[in-house]
Each structure stands twice: as structure tokens, then as C-alpha cells.
A and B are shown apart, each in its own frame.
Chain A
Amino acid sequence: GAVVSQHPSWVICKSGTSVKIECRSLDFQATTMFWYRQFPKQSLMLMATSNEGSKATYEQGVEKDKFLINHASLTLSTLTVTSAHPEDSSFYICSARIQARGYTFGSGTRLTVV
């Protein structure tokens, strides 16, 4: 149980285009979703925390206008990378906190901007 389904698993896009990443909680309601970015062989860096029905809270240095987060329902949170550039190429991972059980992570999305 407590599965977060993340799609797509990988995407290649042209520089200047936008890409949407979806995370769905399959068998529970995710009030809070966390979005991370991870570079090769490095740890996860928290980008933002999204709460259902309210604006996301972004970490220092993360451009909120570039990384749009929508958490309109208790089972879906999306991250849109707008006007993507090669430096946005990375591994993006979502995570949900499940009360009294801990955290569950999506399988990640490998974004390559060419």
C-alpha cells in the first residue's frame, strides 16, 4: 500500500518548451507532497512543498515561476518545468508523507532538455 505513481519516468524536450510531471497517490490521500531534484550521484534537494488547495512553499533559490506546482486534489500533484533549458536537466522525484507511517517516494522522472 501507500504507492505514489510518478509519470513520465523519462522525458526529452526541446529547450524553451514546458514539461509537466505528475504524481498520483494511488491508495491514500496526500495532503502534502514534496518535490525534489537530484543530480547524478548526489542527494535529493528539496525544491518545494505543496499542500492540497493552497500555494506551494518553495525552498530558497528555487524559482517559483519556473517550477510551477499544482496540488488541486488529494491524489494529484503536478510539477511543470516552464521554458526548460539544458541546465534544468535532472532527476525529479515526488514524495508524500503518510501520517504515522513515514514517507513514500515516486519512481522519479529523468528530464533531459536538448
Chain B
Amino acid sequence: TQLLEQSPQFLSIQEGENLTVYCNSSSVFSSLQWYRQEPGEGPVLLVTVVTGGEVKKLKRLTFQFGDARKDSSLHITAAQPGDTGLYLCAGAAGGSGGSNYKLTFGKGTLLTVNP
């Protein structure tokens, strides 16, 4: 069973601060996705990283995939109240062995950015 350890689980910061969320695993993933979820809605994809060492930027969000494709981080610069939400990392296994490309989700990081 593949596990993704996501930390921190809860984070409350002031507007303008920076933060980093981590996802770590002992397993290798073919790809890793980051999602943001609002209450009462489904997760919305932020980014997919596929290549070891890959770095992707989405405005104030920077995503990194570890060289060994076992870990990833999300860094938010100058957080704003609109960034408040549940952030989820999810790793995808390959399609072999009957895994059907199942996603393994981390426990999530509930971020609150106070004005």
C-alpha cells in the first residue's frame, strides 16, 4: 500500500506570509498532483508533476517534485485570504499490476490565511 505523508495538517497564517506544504512517501509515483478544495466542492487540480526534480510555478505557487519522485512540496509566497482552503497532494501509481492508476491522497493541509 502506497502512503503519502502530508504536513502540516493545519496551518493558520497572516496575509503576506510564506508557507510550504510537504508530501513525502517511501514509494515512487509516476506522477504527483496537487489539488485545492473548497468546502462542499470537489477538488480542483492545481498542477501535475511528472519528472523527478521538476519545478512548476503557478503565479505565487511553486511546486517541486523530488529527484526520486517520492516527495513533493508546495510553496506559497505572500499568501492571501483567497488562498484559504484544503490543499491535497495525490500520487498516481502506474497502470500495471491492476492498479488502474489509482490516486493515493495525502491527509490534506487545511490552510487559513487571516486578513
Interface centre among A34, A51, A105 (most CB of B within 10 A): A105
Question: Does A25 lie at the interface of the complex (its beta carbon under 8 Å from any beta carbon of B)?
Answer: no
Chain B proximity of A57: nearest CB distance (Å): 7
Q: Give the interface residue-count category, chain A.
A: 20 to 34
Interface size (B, Cβ < 8 Å)? 25
Question: Does A49 lie at the interface of the complex (its beta carbon under 8 Å from any beta carbon of B)?
Answer: yes
> Chain A interface: which of B38-46, B51-59, B70-78?
B38-46
In whole angstroms, what is the CA distance A42 to B108 when docked? 7
Q: Are B103 and A41 in contact (CB under 8 A)?
A: no
In whole angstroms, what is the CA distance A91 to B48 when docked? 24
Q: Which residues of A contact B31 (CB under 8 A)?
A: 102
Q: Are B105 and A43 in contact (CB under 8 A)?
A: yes
Instruction: Encode B18-44 as 1/0 by CB contact (under 8 A) with A.
Output: 000000000000010101000011111
Q: Are B102 and A34 in contact (CB under 8 A)?
A: yes
In whole angstroms, what is the CA distance A66 to B41 when docked? 24
Question: Does B110 lie at the interface of the complex (its beta carbon under 8 Å from any beta carbon of A)?
Answer: yes
Chain A residues near B (Cβ < 8 Å) = 6, 9, 32, 34, 41-46, 49, 51, 57, 91, 93, 95, 97, 102-108, 110
